[in-house]
Amino acid sequence: MKDGEKRPESGATGTPVRLLEVEADAAGRRLDNFLMSALKGLPRPRIYRMIRSGEVRVNKGRSKPSYHLAVGDVVRVPPVRGLETNAQPYVSPGRADWLNDLVLYEDDRLLVLNKPSGLAVHGGSGISLGAIELLRAARPDSHYFELVHRLDRDTSGCLLVAKKRSALRQLHNAFRDGQVEKIYYALLLGKWVGGRREVALPLMTEHRQNGERHVRTGKDGKAAVTRFYPERYYDDSVYVRVELLTGRTHQIRVHAAAIGHPVAGDDRYGEGGASPAGLRRLFLHAGHLGFPHPESGEKISIEAPLSAELQSVLSELESSR
């Protein structure tokens, strides 16, 4: 579906009226299920009342909840009270255009973004705008953008976004079936002795009173495996390539701290370890993403370069070594 109006008129106390044109990905879906996706969080009985009362229209006429949509159908979605907190925030024209310069790869089914540190992948929990909202604002004529996976707010690098519903399903399957290569680069604190290390410690997520998620190791947690490969040794730190065999929340940060080598710049799990001068962020970067293309099956391999700030930190460490 695509939004037929870039910033339509709002209802008196609700969300804007929208005209949604049905495209190939949504063809064949029932009208009620289509609206469940368009109005996430709205109870199904309320959606049925909107359809039966004629507030929802298909091609300007009344329809039934069981109607199967066809390509080109235009669905009128009326103003809805109670969804103000779930509505997409408005972004003024041009404010998000800078995000286009961070696109590493794009075709008609997917997009890979080099997400900067400090940008959440989506809004919520006090954050009004994330990467996905800004991407939608930067591409107002594009009808579909959904996150395939997530990165921590403070982690930079490859972020995979689906541009079609079918691509989202196939890419989710690839992640679930272990067909995705995820390589990170990090600076760990402390003197590293020896070579490669594999950490296999189960992880448990706790939800604290302030709403933040905190992860710790624990025998009752979910299985998690991380491999650390040292690439450059320094006096009090080591630059490592990190291979994720699982994808748990904060996995690299917690596993690194558990072996006594927290990620530089990690205020949550680093226990106050001294970070290199000039580092004002978490030194963790999703540098490589490899996955089968959802249409052709061809292997796609994407590399995201380190930011100038992280490169500068490494250069300083090299010069003082």
Distance (Å, whole) CA 274 – CA 271: 9
How is 209-272 classified by DSSP, letter by letter? Answer: TTS-EEEEE-TTSB--EEEEEEEEE-SSEEEEEEEESS--TTHHHHHHHHTT-PBTT-TTTSTT
| 18: CATH | 3.10.290.10
- Outline where 39-164 has alpha helix (H): 44-52, 131-138
Residues 275 and 303 in one domain: yes
**Share of residues in the chain with pLDDT > 90 (%):** 59
Average pLDDT over residues 219-237: 94
Residues 240 and 296 in one domain: yes
What are the catalytic residues?
Answer: 152
Residue 8 pLDDT exceeds 70? no
Burial 71-85 (b: 16+ CB within 10 A, else e): eebebbbbbbeeeee
| 146: CATH | 3.30.2350.10
Residues 263 and 230 in one domain: yes
Domains: count for the chain: 3
Residues 46 and 122 in one domain: no
Question: pLDDT (tens digit, 9 = 90+) per residue, 76-122?
Answer: 998 886 554 445 556 665 778 898 999 999 999 999 999 999 999 98
Residues 144 and 238 in one domain: no
Residues 166 and 248 in one domain: no
Q: Choose one of 77, 112, 130: the last residue of a domain.
A: 77
Closest listed residue to residue 124, CA positions, set 132, 116, 135: 132
Residues 138 and 240 in one domain: no
* Least confident interval from 97-106, 235-244, 250-259, 273-282: 273-282
Residues 183 and 312 in one domain: yes
> Residue 142 sits in which domain range?
97-172
Residues 188 and 166 in one domain: no
Residue 24 pLDDT exceeds 60? yes
Residues 253 and 271 in one domain: yes
* Least confident interval from 56-70, 99-113, 132-146, 287-301: 132-146
Residue 169 pLDDT exceeds 80? yes
Residues 158 and 265 in one domain: no
Q: Does residue 211 fall inside a structural domain?
A: yes
Average pLDDT over residues 33-62: 88
Q: Does residue 90 fall inside a structural domain?
A: no
Q: What is the pLDDT of residue 86?
A: 45
Residues 183 and 304 in one domain: yes
Average pLDDT over residues 8-22: 62
Q: Rg for the chain (alpha carbons), in Å?
A: 23
Q: Choose one of 172, 191, 207: the last residue of a domain.
A: 172
Question: pLDDT (tens digit, 9 = 90+) per residue, 46-59?
Answer: 899 999 999 999 99
